[in-house]
Amino acid sequence: MNIILLGPAYPYRGGISNTNEALCRNLMKEGHKVSIWTFTLQYPSLLFPGKTQYSHSKAPKNLAIERKINSLSPWNWIRVANQINKAQPDLVLVRYWTPFLALALGTIVKRLNVDIKKIAITDNVHPHENTLFQKQFTHYFCKQFDGFITFSKSVASELDLYVQKPIVFLQHPINDKLPLPSEQLKSQKELALDPSKTYFLFFGLVRKYKGLDLLLKAFSRLHQKNRNTHLLIVGEHYESSQKYRKLVSSLQIEASVTFENRYVPTHELSKWFSASDLVVQPYKTASQSGVTPLSIWFNKPTLVTKVGGLYESVVHKKTGWIVEPTVEGIEKGMEDFLNSKDKEIYKKALQLQQKKLSWSHFCNECIKFSKTLP
């Protein structure tokens, strides 16, 4: 099958870029011809809250990545659609996560030949932070497609509000280019961490909806009962870090909280996850999270809040904890983890879960789904 994937890829950085590249690699392994058409302009600098949109790593080998799409130019959208029609793919996959790109990607797909099958791989339907005209833009985008793939059942439910078209739910696969887990003591030594402590890890971009304020308050309460605990906050802040540092100061837990305010590249993931004991995702809203498959890969249980589809990949008290999105709920979950006796049970359960989250399964289901579409 000849496939074109529209969405972020190198030189753009981030979890969506990484998984698009992984999808491309694994579809190629299954014998398909695949290319990624990414952006010449994704976000204007004024609208991007981070330090940079671009990767400092080397370009991935043996992937056909072309920079084609200007998110702000309607003339470009028409040109890209014409180029896709000329290439005559059997299937176009489009990665969707923000209504900011709905007009660009929706217009490209709208102008494609009717014999090309069109599937949106939908991370989010509703954005994490509300924007102007988001419902109108999302409706415009959704009506251009033959079918949808989602990573959570909650996103599938949200899609039903916009279109009545085939939807398949597939769990988020584990990235195929991750470093192997390393020994905990070795990683703690590399990070100059005290091996006698229990480490909680908050990982990923820091944004308001991710509930870091809830976690800091919950950790403060827990730390009063158990001083042998430490919180690692690892990821670039997409808003001012000062409000969180002030909160840490007011809670008097400065010595027990580490801030690593930067984007962490793939090759550094192992030491942070391997050094930790429990990954905490205290989100206030979420559709799903790419942090969960990372936790599974590194054999770390994860505490998640019961919001959106965030908890769908977690088995309570086997691969992690599912708690209410409150200070009290998060504190209780962390305390339950501290009081659990046999932590090897989680490792065994997580290793079983790894087998279910393969890219081979995802790719085969994706192609199977495309063949059912009219």
CATH code, domain carrying 282 = 3.40.50.2000
Handedness of CA 309, 265, 349, 368 (dihedral sign): positive
Comparing 104-113, 210-219, 225-234, 283-292, the range with the smallest average pLDDT is 283-292
Residue 64 placed within a domain: yes
- Reported confidence tier of residue 239, pLDDT bands at 50, 70, 90: confident
Mean pLDDT over residues 258-269, rounded? 93
Q: Considering its fold, how many domains does the chain have in total?
A: 2
Same domain, 255 and 344: yes
Q: What secondary structure does DSSP assign to 11-59, as a single string?
A: TB-SHHHHHHHHHHHHHHHTT-EEEEEEEEESS-GGG--SS-SB--SPP
Joined tokens for residue 151: 């990573």
Does residue 115 belong to any structural domain of this protein? Answer: yes
Same domain, 79 and 164: yes
How far is the C-alpha of 357 from the C-alpha of 293, rounded, in Å?
8
pLDDT at 347 over 90: no
DSSP line for 178-222 = PPPP--HHHHHHHTT--TTSEEEEEES-B-GGG-HHHHHHHHHHH
Residue 225 is assigned to a structural domain of this protein: yes
Tell me the average pLDDT across 144-167: 93
Q: Are 232 and 253 in contact (CB under 8 A)?
A: no
Does residue 68 sit in the same domain as residue 213? no
User: Mean pLDDT throughout 129-135?
Assistant: 74
Q: Do 216 and 300 reside in the same domain of the chain?
A: yes
Q: Report the pLDDT value the prediction gives residue 175, as an integer from 0 to 100.
A: 84
Q: Domain for residue 282, yes or no?
A: yes
> Do 100 and 41 meet the contact criterion of CB atoms below 8 Å apart?
no
Q: Is 80 exceeded by the pLDDT of residue 52?
A: no
39: pLDDT strictly greater than 80: yes
Residues 362, 344 share a domain: no
Q: Are residues 25 and 163 in the same domain?
A: yes
For residue 55, the model assigns a pLDDT of 82
Interatomic CA distance for residues 91 and 120, integer angstroms = 11
Cβ–Cβ < 8 Å for 280, 303 = yes
Question: Is residue 35 predicted with pLDDT exceeding 90?
Answer: yes
Residue 342 has pLDDT above 80, yes or no: no
190, 336: one domain: yes
Residue 222 inside a domain? The answer is yes
Question: What token pair was written down for 165?
Answer: 């078209």
Q: What is the mean pLDDT of residues 117-130?
A: 86
pLDDT, tens only, 316-325: 999 999 999 9
pLDDT band, residue 341 (cuts 50/70/90): confident
Residue 53: what pLDDT? Answer: 77
- On whether residue 179 sits in a domain, the answer given is no
The confidence score (pLDDT) of residue 47 equals 63
303 and 154 in one domain?
no
Residue 16 lies in a domain: yes
Residue 211 shares a structural domain with residue 94 = no
The parent domain of residue 136 ranges over: 2-173+358-372
Segment 60-109, tens digit of pLDDT: 999 999 999 999 999 999 999 999 999 999 999 999 999 999 999 999 99
Q: pTM for the complete prediction?
A: 0.84
pLDDT in the model for residue 288: 83
Q: Is 72 in the same domain as 199?
A: no
In a domain? residue 75 = yes
Residue 140 shares a structural domain with residue 250 = no
Same domain assignment for residues 209 and 345: yes
What pLDDT, in 10s, does the model give residues 160-186? 989 999 999 999 999 888 999 999 999
